[in-house]
Copies of this chain bind each other. A is one copy, B any other.
Amino acid sequence: MKASLIIIGNEILSGRTQDKNLSYLANWLNEIGIQLTEVRVIRDEEDVIIETVNHLRKTYDYVFTTGGIGPTHDDITSESIAKAFSVDLEINQGALSILKEYYKDGELTEARMKMTKMPVGSELIENPVSRAPGFKMDNVFVLAGIPGIMQGMLEGARQFLKKGDVVKSKSVDIFTPESNVAEILTNLQAKYGSVEIGSYPFSKENRFGTSIVMRSTSDDQLSKCDTELKGLVKNYDTKY
């Protein structure tokens, strides 16, 4: 099962805000066996949102979007998703009753009513934090951009997701530069095709090192690869 994420927001592309949703979503999806395979960060522009959503929803099992579902003029995600699916935007009765309950009489202003409007055919995704819900349209999950709210909504999205084969990982850290183990890793990767072996340099306590990460859906292959790797790098200072 493969997923993609569309981060919608000028504030991310201007460098003003550091995205925190990518790594959270990636880890959350890993646990239910869905691999985050591609991420796009795009501007709050209707044409770009429509084109990106329509491309990715045909390419991946699931698409998540974050950002642009608030009450202000620069929140254009819901309307753009409706256009991507060629359906109207309507007041979602479920969203309306949630907001009616949340706000006192007279507080449900026109701006806040914007947050009840969703593409025809949407299913609500509850928002336990600030109530205004996200929604699911076919295989596209439309979530808030604020990390705390996005994370709450993800729990609401869980019921709609099919579990895939969970990718497990093991990692070995050794205190030597990557280049010293490059050949070992090339050979190991050739031997264990079903294990994805990555190598990442780090520096810690003023020493250079390499993190070797093995990822696989097969416990057996992962375990064999890990054991063999540990034997091959046993002469390096390690932390495992």
Binding site for B on A (CB under 8 A): 7, 10-20, 22-27, 30, 35-44, 48, 70-74, 109-112, 114, 146, 167, 169, 178-183, 185-186, 189, 196-201, 213, 215
With beta carbons under 8 angstroms apart, the residue of B17, B30, B72, B180 that contacts A199 is B72
For the complex of A and B, the 5 pairs showing the least CB-CB separation, nearest first, are: A15-B26, A111-B182, A15-B27, A39-B41, A71-B179
- 28 A-B residue contacts at CB 8 Å? A7-B39, A10-B196, A10-B198, A13-B37, A13-B38, A14-B26, A14-B167, A14-B213, A15-B22, A15-B23, A15-B24, A15-B36, A17-B200, A18-B23, A38-B40, A38-B43, A71-B179, A72-B179, A72-B181, A72-B182, A74-B189, A74-B197, A74-B198, A109-B180, A110-B183, A111-B180, A111-B182, A146-B201
Residues of chain B lying within 8 A (CB to CB) of residue A48: 38
Cβ-closest chain B residue relative to A5: B41
A109 with B27: CB separation less than 8 A: no
Provide the bound-state CA to CA distance between A150 and B112, in Å.
43
Main secondary structure of the interface of A (DSSP, over half): mixed
A179 with B13: CB separation less than 8 A: no
Provide the bound-state CA to CA distance between A13 and B11, in Å.
21
State the Cβ distance, A49 to closest chain B Cβ, in Å. Answer: 12
